[in-house]
Structure 1
């Protein structure tokens, strides 16, 4: 059995990430997030543009806005941050089946002891995951250790503790502020002259319990692995929903591609982690005083990011917005089982003709869902009544018929039989007496002087003569 190794991912700028990830870095205005402390709104985080102008955490909102006239301040939204952590847990589920969400600390815990056999050393796995999160617009600090608490401590300093060695000696030189201390414990230890984690750990446990309580001693025991620390496992969701705020608003439809690319990257990462696919997604755009939606339906369940991005571009070409877009929400109401297809053994082996399903998806994205239909045969001998438009991909049982063309004229046209050479026929069709549209015809396949194959008939009732009815490809 593999030794337990815990990876902690901390998101110290989660509120700011949710505010800024819908915009390119070079286009961002000075932004900050605030929270009310002691009835006074204060800055808790800001982006680099605002920081260069002098804004810093702890500054009153009024003072920050006086310092930077165009500073955009948005209040923290704990519910949005908690929802984001759930989506990030789904994204990280690809790397471990044991994921824990610590919403109070903006932290994810992953047990990656066994994952190293698939993804390589802990450092490489961590770097890969942090880079993937960065592409989605999230900034994470990471650390690994043999216990969940030690992993969180290591993440605060970006360290990887050796799981084969005792934890205490590896963290003894870290500053006292690395420990999880409440508002009373920190000043108490500082007044006692302690400055490092090692100095606290060398104290007798009974003395610590008397001064700081048994809960703090239990915390130290969980940190060093002396006490078990079971974690509550995260459960995969049944649907996906993610939103991006656009504080400055986007007027250009093509500018929506960047935030949508991040949303679909997040969706496809979650789908790969959960081994799921989607057949329907919805994009909701919230404008200044209105809302609009785009519904994307697929012929087959898919999790191909490239295919979904291509369909989004097709939809955006038909979209017209009359006001700035303030928020984008991507929703997949149902996550379906993924049916894997055989992949390519070597590079370039996947170069094959576009599948009919992919083609239908693109046509519907460009022409609208009702703009693409399939033809299906129905049980009626009259050619003009023997077909109907159906949903592409559906099949209707139909009795096999003789050789007939796919193209029929809307109205049969009179023709001169002397201009044709007979190839085969006749096919007698005599039916329709029960609905008042009875016919009596003999159909022939003929070739005209230009070499084209045509479908003609001789009618006996209600009017006599020869008529051109269809053309063969």
Structure 2
């Protein structure tokens, strides 16, 4: 349990979240976000250096910086970014509330012990937040509203004591409190200038003299009223949206935002020890229907570099019907990540591709019908034991055929399942066994089947060695004729 003398809440306030996120696309472009009244709501660092301030009319901001890029306020986009930050912070805090428009509320008291104290916990969380290049204020509080008010006012007090936090709260002016203009004016008219003036008046008098909204807000500040927060839950799938600062007219221009988004996918999968079976890229256009690119993977993958290579191969073949104004990346088919078994003493090549990666790249570069692979068939006849199929074909696997073929002997079916008894190299057609010395190395293995399609066979197969010591696969027919059918590697 947390000490009663320590705050238990931490509020992270991001005053310029949407502007900072857009600034990641081009740090050299000044950006301002306008509210519905055409006033500056947010601005990036570069715009701030030019003198642009929150609340400024957009015409004045343009006079200060004619290169200023103006973007509308998008509440949905703001909430999406906050949800992404909450997902990122989930590894440091299990209870995160999405109850505020420009910030996150964290219940941190239960995490201090796990991270070795308040200071060490905040150091790790602060470094993680700063790596995202977003400006923020952080303040602790004994109640959620207390932490929210201090951080919203621009104070950074993540490690302050309860006494220090209360002192700072009392000094806040009416303009620093989250009250409407009319509520501030009603308080100013009776001579109230600071929060201390409010808290010195008994609550009973507030209910009689002022609106219920101010009294309710004070109850939330003091903790007498508990808020119902919208607690964050980690998403079951990965979804990221990218609003383009400038329209993208060529497919090569999509690689920069995709690199950023796929790297986030990599972090998402790594934290959860998951891998993606498929990744969907959705390119949004102003007038045309969205373009969709599906990256189907031969084996589940989690590395951002591999995703980016596949995306680049697909984009090289893409002709955009219209400029791209937004991008969405979705990974919904997720499975537990499996580490490949390796030999401790085997020589490895870090640049070599495994079979799945090679197949992924072939599928991205070629048409789906041009990439085929072998699958095991339920037919015991060696010539028909394997089939070449494409990704869209339904593979025929052992055991799926009609079980009414009762004369297919068990040893033949076991032979299909045990690939070690079958040679890697089968001849196109069996050839008569050459007249030279042979030595049989195994007992006969009979395959008698094929009556259902007029291709009946009855053969006794042996592993044999020729005069040069090479292993081969031979069989004998009921007429006592011998044939060579394949070679072992």
- Bin for the TM-score computed over the shorter chain: 0.7 to 0.9
* Cα contact 1:136–1:262 (8 A) shared by 2: no
CA separation of 1:291/1:231 partners in 2, compared to 1, >3 Å: closer, same or farther? same
* Cα contact 2:445–2:461 (8 A) shared by 1: yes
1:469 aligned onto 2:464: no
CA separation of 1:207/1:109 partners in 2, compared to 1, >3 Å: closer, same or farther? same
* Cα contact 1:412–1:467 (8 A) shared by 2: no
* Cα contact 1:33–1:75 (8 A) shared by 2: yes
What is the number of residues matched between the two proteins?
Answer: 445
1:410-454 superposed Cα distances (whole Å, 9 cap, x missing partner)? x22646613664443665545434412234555454445665433
How far 1:261 sits from its partner (Å)?
Answer: 4.7
Within 1, Cα distance between the matches of 2:306 and 2:98?
33
Within 1, Cα distance between the matches of 2:83 and 2:347?
38
- 1:9 paired residue among 9, 12, 19: 12
How far 1:5 sits from its partner (Å)?
Answer: 0.5
1:311 aligned onto 2:306: yes
Where do 1:317-466 residues align within 5 Å? 317-319=312-314, 320=316, 321-323=318-320, 325-333=324-332, 359-368=354-363, 371=371, 373=373, 375-380=375-380, 382-388=381-387, 396=398, 399-401=413-415, 403-409=421-427, 411-412=428-429, 414=431, 417-418=434-435, 421-424=438-441, 427-439=445-457, 441=459, 443-447=461-465, 451-457=469-475
* Cα contact 2:298–2:360 (8 A) shared by 1: no
Within 2, Cα distance between the matches of 1:439 and 1:340?
42
How far 1:158 sits from its partner (Å)?
Answer: 1.2
* Cα contact 2:255–2:312 (8 A) shared by 1: no
Partner of 1:178: 176
CA separation of 1:146/1:420 partners in 2, compared to 1, >3 Å: closer, same or farther? farther
* Cα contact 1:282–1:295 (8 A) shared by 2: yes
Within 1, Cα distance between the matches of 2:48 and 2:166?
37
- 2:41 paired residue among 25, 38, 44: 44
> TM-score with structure 2 length normalisation?
0.74
Within 1, Cα distance between the matches of 2:270 and 2:431?
60
Within 2, Cα distance between the matches of 1:143 and 1:313?
39
Within 2, Cα distance between the matches of 1:393 and 1:273?
34
How far 1:7 sits from its partner (Å)?
Answer: 1.2
Within 2, Cα distance between the matches of 1:394 and 1:7?
57
Within 2, Cα distance between the matches of 1:253 and 1:124?
45
Partner of 2:280: 282
Partner of 2:404: none
CA separation of 1:102/1:174 partners in 2, compared to 1, >3 Å: closer, same or farther? same
RMSD across aligned C-alpha pairs, in angstroms?
Answer: 4.3
Within 1, Cα distance between the matches of 2:449 and 2:98?
70
1:286-314 superposed Cα distances (whole Å, 9 cap, x missing partner)? 467662313344745x7xxxx33132133
* Cα contact 1:245–1:326 (8 A) shared by 2: yes
Of residues 229-238 and 62-71 in structure 1, the stretch that sits farther from structure 2 once superposed is 62-71
How far 1:18 sits from its partner (Å)?
Answer: 4.1
Partner of 1:345: none
Q: Which runs of 5+ in 1 are unaligned?
A: 343-348
Partner of 2:408: none
Where do 1:104-123 residues align within 5 Å? 105-123=101-119
Within 1, Cα distance between the matches of 2:476 and 2:338?
53
Partner of 1:83: 80
Higher RCO (CA-CA < 8 Å; seq separation 6+):
1
Where do 1:205-244 residues align within 5 Å? 205=203, 212-225=210-223, 227-234=224-231, 236=233, 237-244=235-242
* Cα contact 1:136–1:265 (8 A) shared by 2: no
The structure where strand makes up a greater share of residues is 1
How far 1:385 sits from its partner (Å)?
Answer: 1.1
Of residues 78-87 and 243-252 in structure 1, the stretch that sits farther from structure 2 once superposed is 243-252
Q: Which runs of 5+ in 2 are unaligned?
A: 400-411
Partner of 1:148: 144
CA separation of 1:434/1:214 partners in 2, compared to 1, >3 Å: closer, same or farther? closer
Within 2, Cα distance between the matches of 1:189 and 1:331?
50
Within 2, Cα distance between the matches of 1:124 and 1:257?
37
Query: What is the SS of the residue equivalent to 1:171?
Result: helix
Partner of 1:157: 155
